[in-house]
Amino acid sequence: MAKGKDAQIWYPDFIIGLMIFIITLATYYYYSSNAPSNDDSSLENILGDANTVSSYLAGPGYPLNWSSADVMILGLTDGSGRIVGSKLSSLDGLQYSGARSLLNTKFDFFLYFTDKSGCLIRFMSSGENYGFGHPDAELDEIGGSGSCAVSGAKSMVLNLSEIAPEKVVKVERLVILNSTVSRMVLHEWR
């Protein structure tokens, strides 16, 4: 008879403990499924990476006078904010995938320079290259070059419609390009 009485004593404790466990488990799954995602494509991660990449590009790179044959870290300036033409030319000669690897980024990017009126500046003094980055990114002309402050600059906008990214960030840094204060503009996306 003692066995039946002992069973009646622990049975309610077992049921209460099981109910607490089920409620805790349900609460955990409810809040974890509604919590914001911490995946690699969060806006904060893309922005942090874009700031890092733009810092590399605004620096001198390594070795200091690198070329496309010996570059280890991409950097486009002389170290004091002045874009070095030979580095810009070497960047233009790199494959996008190689540049992305050298910048150690997992996100896609596109880089260009603008004058004070927002017009895009050619990478070199001749040619029609106004940017560098993802091969499917396009620069669309949106108007004449009459309002541009720099000779040869064009009023253009970055078109990513072929890529259709989910999240895009834009980072700007002031640099000196061709003896003129310019904006180095980097777009990164996933």
> Based on the domain organization, do 90 and 111 belong to the same domain?
yes
Contact status, residue 169 vs residue 43, Cβ threshold 8 Å:
yes
The model's confidence at residue 147, banded by pLDDT at 50, 70 and 90, is: confident
Q: What does the pLDDT average to over 124-138?
A: 86
Pair (53, 19) in one structural domain: no
Q: Is residue 35 part of a domain?
A: no
- Tell me whether residue 38 is in a domain: no
Residue 128's pLDDT band, with cuts at 50, 70 and 90, is confident
Are residue 69 and residue 17 in the same domain, yes or no?
Answer: no
**How far is the C-alpha of 88 from the C-alpha of 93, rounded, in Å?**
9
Same domain for 113 and 61, yes or no, is yes
Verify that 133 and 83 share a domain, yes or no.
Answer: yes
Question: Is 17 domain-assigned?
Answer: yes
Shared domain check, 24 and 48: no
pLDDT value at position 1?
46
- Radius of gyration, CA atoms only, the chain: 27
| pLDDT at position 107 over 50 | yes
**157 and 184 belong to one structural domain:** yes
Percent of the chain residues past pLDDT 90, beyond the cut: 62
Tell the residue number behind the tokens 């049975």, with chain if given. 11
CA distances from residue 136 to 40, 133, 160 in whole angstroms, order as listed: 22, 9, 7
Range of the domain at 79: 43-189
Whether residue 159 is contained in a domain is answered as: yes
Check residue 5 and give its pLDDT.
61
For 9-50, the pLDDT digits (tens) are 777 888 888 889 899 888 888 877 666 555 555 889 999 999
Q: Check whether 2 has a pLDDT greater than 70.
A: no
Is the separation of the CB atoms in 177 and 109 below 8 Å? Answer: no
pLDDT tens profile 57-98 = 999 999 999 988 999 999 999 999 999 999 998 998 899 999
Three-state DSSP class for residue 174: strand
Query: Is 100 part of a structural domain of the chain?
Result: yes
77 part of a folded domain: yes
Q: Choose among 10, 182, 12, 189: nearest CA to 105.
A: 189
Q: Are residues 76 and 166 in the same domain?
A: yes
pLDDT at 36: 58
End-to-end CA distance of the chain: 70
Is 146:165 a contact under the CB 8 Å cutoff? no
Domain match, 151 and 58 both: yes
Q: Taking all residues of the chain, what is their mean pLDDT, rounded to a whole number? A: 88
For residues 125-150, give the mean pLDDT: 85
**SS3 for 176?**
strand
pLDDT at 4: 57
96 and 3 share one domain: no
Q: What is the pLDDT of residue 41?
A: 56
Q: Are residues 127 and 169 in the same domain?
A: yes
Number of domains comprising the chain: 2
Q: Is the pLDDT of residue 161 over 90?
A: yes
Is the same domain home to 24 and 47?
A: no
**DSSP string for 23-86:** HHHHHHHHHHHHSPP--TT-HHHHHHHHHHHHHHHTS--BSTT--TTT-SB---BSSSSBBPHH
pLDDT given at position 149: 84
Q: How far is Cα 153 from Cα 132, in angstroms, rounded to an integer?
A: 15
In a domain? residue 36: no
Separation CA 47–CA 74 (nearest Å): 19
